[in-house]
Structure 1
């Protein structure tokens, strides 16, 4: 009985496993919601509730008892759901080591809980169904059709079944399936429990299984290396059809045509089949013009790909044409051999004409060729100027062709021009193939022909060209000259040699290979693209001189770097304080090819000196500026011109020399780059070097600073006067002095340096003199440090004009507002001068009172800015206009100006308002009513 119970439990688990796989459910995740502690156990009601909620499985009492007996515990009535889930989810038993895991795999026999039809089907019908399924699988695989997606729109609840009418309506093919075969499919896959419904999902999985068996068989029969994933171009029995296909392949390959783009718009379902008319239209539009297809040739292609129902397989045609000289996904098949087009197939051939026309063409080309050879015409550039498309199309229109011939004066009759255009006509565009025409009439024009390619291929060998080994002993290279040249390059360009080699030596061993050393020299500028083209002999000499004794193929790059960088400084200079570093100028080397003029003969030196002296006198007499003439020829600004350009410059400057003198000058100033006109002009028109004026300027500045400062004017005599001046300025302009002072006291300790105090006073624009600032520094000097000033006390004193500090502690104190005195009131006169001033004012007052004069209007006419002041000359002019000037002599004018003097912009003006008010007060006039 126990064995029967276990067998029944296994059958029940198999059904649950099938249901879980069908719904793609992992049962463990739903049981864990009831097991908060992850103990692996749940109660019996929770176990069966979870099965009902997740899998919609309602078990009978006997089935529940079987599961409880297998997975239940006797202690507290719980069920081991973890063991149950492992049985449902796993495919084989990992504990069973006696059997292969493949033989233990437990797969669900059906999906969606359905069963296959058990209706008897004869063996012949079964064989027909298998054959039909293989045809359907091949068709679906080729056209990319999925049977399941064709019926999912009818299966809203995803149960895997549709009605028979829906099955017939959406059946995706193949089109050659007959009614009898459709009836066999309906009989085979009809659902026995639900009459009228058909299980399309089982049909889909059977077709998928057949495809897997086919792929496995292909893997066994066909090696992976030789398998091709596209339809190869197979020759047909009809030679004419093969010729048409070859012509289409060449046109597609040459013009880069995507043929499928012209057909797929007619195939909305992407079935790979379209109607005959659609195929004809698409083929004519795609390659009809490029391949020059006739109606008869298109019809032959249609007949080859036509199906029994009258439609055409365009997908197969497109695959064959587009993959003629290529294989899809070639990057995944590195060993695949690609078929190349035959030699000469892709070239533009000339059209064959009738015999009379061919003879006439030969005569025309012969005449044109004679004119081209006699007149030495280069025809190709003229044709190329008209070929302005995207990339050179190598064709021009017939009108352009005739226009170019007329422009070149190659007169051709209209009939002959038609024959020429017909001979060199491009098959695809109908234009004229001008490179072929130029090559036919111009024997010196070298165009690309297949004959040239054949000759080149015959002369070409695949064996590498052997390198000739160069030894340092075989070359006559001087090591000192080579090192001097390298040092000059490094010094001139300010290069750090170590940066070009240290990346090759990550272990900092001081040694790198010769190839790495050569690479570093190239980046340093010792290459064909750099400042010096280092030959192989020079490199071998360097490698030999700095060869690593321990490794014959390595170079001591650190030693080379130290020798070269010695142009900047000497190593370990801190250990040799008395060593005198040589100047860097001594390492500069002349240009290669410069002649050592010190070894020249006396006659040569005398000839050069006499020539230079004569040229120098002529240049000085005519005031010639020679350098701009040479610079016009020096386009690279390297200070050199060619020998012919040097002769040209002398001719332009009218500096005539004989041939012997010219040769002597060239021998002295020429090198491998050219004629060094900078050195030549330096000796022809020597200029005095600019004097070093820095020391003299510094001495002048020191002497100027030692001079005594100018005497101060209008300064306050005591501290009270300075404070009054500061308070008046603050009161008028509302300045917060503390804001300018506190920036110099970062720690807010109430003190600041005297220099900072002066700087802050300048920022406040008090315009204090040196003696006035000294008064303030002495008054507010810090007791703790004489170099500091207690700026807080100074700020409190200045701000007392607005209010009293800590007024909240003195409620009974009366605050008196500060009123700055008028500037003219600060002007004091001597007692004798004061008496003279009073007598003068009385005389003026007497006349003003007698005539009741108005003084303000005339003064205001001169006061354009209305600041209450006028100049002294304007003041005297107003008194003269008022007929008061005769009552005041020159001495009294000076006293009046001094009494009412105010400073406006550094200029002494007169405060006419105070003057008028004093006159009115002495005359006892009412306020503002004279």
Structure 2
């Protein structure tokens, strides 16, 4: 047990605390001790001394248990009693008589402004961690604590002390959130006069911690701890109890090491026995889908993770008897499991939580969220390859018996292939419980009824291989003797097609148009004007720290979200143009958004109020509307023919408007042909000229191409007006 060395300064501070209290209240300390000493020996027992100082005068003086214990140790005589008259002399004789000038005395002359109560070693450790945590928070937020406490002191005139309630309100106002236990430790340390707290000492302790951290370079520029040595940073939260037994089962299985509870256990047979027993329990839990904690948690009322040996034995028996197929555990198996998971601190208890964690590994891995890239393939290989109870290890069987069994299996397989025999229905008739097992006689009847005749030695070899405690496992037998179908599954071809479609396309070299930033911005501005898209709303979500730049991957995601239908090469061109000059791995999305917004208005118009902004007019031209030189000549001739009469005479717009039910400005090619045919205009042009007109004024609507009749009529009106007013 650790003992704290008594310091004279600590005892002197305690005496000053008692002296200040009795001077304020007018208490004679010896009057409380004399009734307990009827013989006048100047000595009393330790229990009597504690009853007076901590019991009768505890509310007045306000000493902690540690201070009372140190005071008793200091004034104790060799026989164990307390020399109380010496304490009274130290307290009363050093008090001067201020009766003549009592108006200028307050009783606080003996108080140390930095006086604090003493705590035990464990409590002092928790207090140091808590003060360090609060100091780091105060330093990180750049807070000054003293004004918050002095505001209350200016009103109450408490000379460096405040009430407990006000101390709690100040901490809550400063967002210094601590648990009730930590707050009780603070009160116990800085309590003064039983109802106030010495905030001066509290602030002084925080300032000392901050000064120490800054001096030794533990704080960074932001005021937080530097993570130079991970795992060594002071934290106010106490760590959990160590769990040295976790993971030792799998480590022992893989590397042959012994477990944490039995370092002296060096017998490989015993180690193999416990590993086999645990694998059998895992296989039983997996087959019946059991929850291990259901059988043990009602014994652990305090949720400590440890129960007695008898309780663990009862829970293990209940686990083995649960499920459709019961599992038998012998007494040596149970004792081996109990010895494996016995509590190293208390041999009468067993760590059932550790046992549950090891058994649940058959389903998944604990804390899988911490390692998202880990691939889990339950159950483990040891459980999958675990032999059935009652069966023999086929690798250890005599070679002669193994060869005889292989010959028998080959003979049965050849007869099944040649005669087209189905053995599974015959075995299913004998298997009433549908557990995949039949008896030995039923196995012989199934083979004899289908004309498969084997010798007694061959039948015994088959039984030796496929038998276990439940009978003859005909599932394993049929898996060996029945021919495997060679038909390819239907999903194989579909899977290949899906992989081919979802595979990454090879990157094509960038064309001239994909490198032209003017055409790319015109494409984006046209999309923005037509669909009224605000690009900044899609890009701003990726800039969480408001740095005005985002990464290249986030910029690509934002462009895909806007649905600009850009190719990979066009995105790379935009990234290269709008890359941040100071951070080449990021993109200046603000500059990109400002350039796109120029399609609607011009920036900084407040500086030039006379400028009238011109909105961007998007074009509907695309690669499908592109006409070469010959096609443009054909189009010019056809349009000259059709523009001889104005629309007021031909009234072509009314027919096209009737065909446009949705009033979107486009009609199908068939309706366009009907309209110009009704007005007699189709006879003026050839089929080739009609195709060129449809290609020139084509517009992609949904999944098919239509004709923009409004642009067609506008072009006819322009040609008619130009030809009418042409003097030549």
TM-score (norm 2): 0.45
Task: Considering Cα pairs closer than 8 Å and 6+ residues apart, tell me whether 1 or 2 has the greater RCO.
Answer: 2
Highest Rg: 1 or 2? 1
TM-score, normalised to structure 1, is 0.36
